[in-house]
Amino acid sequence: MSLPVVDVSSFDQAIQSNELTFVDFSAKWCPPCKVLHPLLEELQQEEGGRVSIAYVDCDESPELSSRFGVMSMPTVILFHNGEPVEKLIGLRPKEVYRTLLGRYTV
């Protein structure tokens, strides 16, 4: 399974498609991003009904990175009902992302 890639034209629809959406702002050349991507894919499989996860390539969509103040990669932003509510900068263990989901689900 691969995370769906979103760009300027598909971003707003992607963050509205589910109550909770993680957006991974990364780049293909970034070593920590390469570690994070499979962790997020596992999380998507394990938590599929609770969250959707999308990927923004910062090199291909710099306007999205700028819009959300992404200064380093990876940066993962959690959107709740289309609004950014949490921002995690840098590589974190999968359990950190799972715990974050728990704050916004019943």
pLDDT tens readout for residues 2-40? 888 999 999 999 998 889 999 999 999 999 999 999 999
Q: Is residue 40 part of a domain?
A: yes
Position 1 in a domain: no
Per the annotation, the verdict on 30 as an active-site residue is: yes
Is residue 33 flagged as an active site residue? yes
When divided into structural domains, the chain yields a total of 1
Residue 1 has pLDDT above 60, yes or no: no
pLDDT of residue 18: 84
Phi, psi of 54 (to 5 degrees): -130, 160
φ and ψ at 39, to 5 degrees? -65, -40
The pLDDT value given to residue 3? 87
pLDDT of res. 106: 64
Inter-residue contact 65 to 57 (CB < 8 Å): no
Has residue 90 got a pLDDT over 80? Answer: yes
Structure tokens, 59: 């090199």
Q: Domain range for residue 88? A: 8-104
Is the CB of residue 19 less than 8 Å from the CB of residue 81?
yes
User: Which residue is catalytic, options 6, 23, 33, 78?
Assistant: 33
Q: What is the pLDDT of residues 76-89, one digit of tens each?
A: 999 999 999 999 99
Flag whether 82 is in a domain: yes
